[in-house]
Amino acid sequence: MLATLRRLPYEGAMRGDSFPRPSLERSHMARRNKIYEGKAKILYEGPEPGTIVQYFKDDATAFNAQKKDVIEGKGVLNNRLSEFFMTGLNQIGVPTHFIRRLNMREQLVRACEIIPLEIIVRNFAAGSMSKRLGIEEGTQLPRPIVEYCFKNDELGDPLVTEEHIAAFGWASQQDMDDILSLALRVNDYMSGLMYGVGIKLIDFKIEIGRVYENDYPRLIVADEISPDSCRLWDIETGQKLDKDVFRRDLGSLTDAYSEVARRLGVIPKTANVIKPTLIN
Ligand code: AIR
Ligand code: ASP
């Protein structure tokens, strides 16, 4: 398998990249247990208790997996971008599950209990909100609007209110206060970061996990933050640089994600990502 690995044009130049890893880590990888496989990621048991290895696949799905494709190189870019955002959040005091990146497609994260909600923050109307409320996409909202969806693929992640969340016990009132404050801090951080590289953060989705520290529960940002889970528009041209490129057939998804990564300095500015290669 190793012999067949091929590199993306920019891989060797990626900051701190040490792939391929020594065989020790590889042999551990071969034996480890799969905990969960989702649409875009696989979770494996981590090397120490309380850790998980999060593997980013190239699979892209939309409209609750009615539309599916494999986008070569997407997993590598999302692994790097999620690392970049989560590291920054950790550094400014917003706790996340991220521990460290292991290789091109994997990162070590803290195991946590995922709260069964998708937390969506919107700065500009788009997507399902535009449809639901008849607001033109791109309209600036009077203030950031936070929405909650029940994480359930069979039901298509339906929008729910805090009434549902409280009544069904998905999260406590204290959790909801903490979730709101985390979501707004992530929004401020991500909006500012993106603004600095000429990108408007239209909206994004995060997931929140619960960890226990000395028996006290604490909420942290989990899952991923990447162009799969955000809407990112170029400030000047309005060009979409996120998963809508795939959802709406607007061109090359890896070109769009590479552009975001390049602007943020996650991959070198000069990297010319022609056609990333499938890497396992
Ligand atoms: N999102 C929601 N479920 C999965 C994802 N990735 C993200 C979308 C978008 C935001 O949440 O990528 O950034 C709002 O999505 P929608 O479809 O409700 O407008
Ligand atoms: N990834 C989800 C799906 O497969 C939602 C989306 O991003 O559109 O439907």
Specify the pTM.
0.88
pLDDT for the residue numbered 8: 38
Distances (CA, A) of 256 to 19, 161, 244: 24, 33, 10
Pick one of 3.40.190.10, 3.40.50.300, 1.20.1090.10, 3.30.200.20 as the CATH number of 2-112+252-279: 3.30.200.20
Residues 6+ apart with CB under 8 A from 154: none
What is the mean predicted confidence (pLDDT) over 7-13?
Answer: 37
Contact indicator for 176, 165 with CB cutoff of 8 Å: yes
Nearest to 208 by CA among 186, 236, 232, 238: 186
Peptide bond into 158 cis (omega under 30): no
Please tell me the residue having the least CA distance from ligand 2 atom 7: 62
Please tell me the residue having the least CA distance from ligand 2 atom 6: 62
Pocket test for ligand 1, best of 132, 135, 229 (most atoms within 8 A of CB): 229
51-87 confidence digits (pLDDT tens): 999 999 999 999 999 999 999 999 999 999 999 999 9
What is the mean predicted confidence (pLDDT) over 4-17?
Answer: 37
For residue 26, pLDDT over 90 is answered with no
Distance CA 77, CA 276 (A): 10
Q: Which ligand is nearest to the CA of 202?
A: 1
Ligand 1 centre to CA of 66 (Å) is: 15
> What one-character DSSP code corresponds to residue 139?
P
| Segments of the chain assigned to CATH 3.30.470.20 | 114-234
Percent of the chain with pLDDT over 90: 84
| Segments of the chain assigned to CATH 3.30.200.20 | 2-112+252-279
Distance CA 278, CA 81 (A): 18
Does the C-beta of 243 come closer than 6 Å to ligand 1?
Answer: yes
241-275 confidence digits (pLDDT tens): 999 999 999 999 999 999 999 999 999 988 655 45
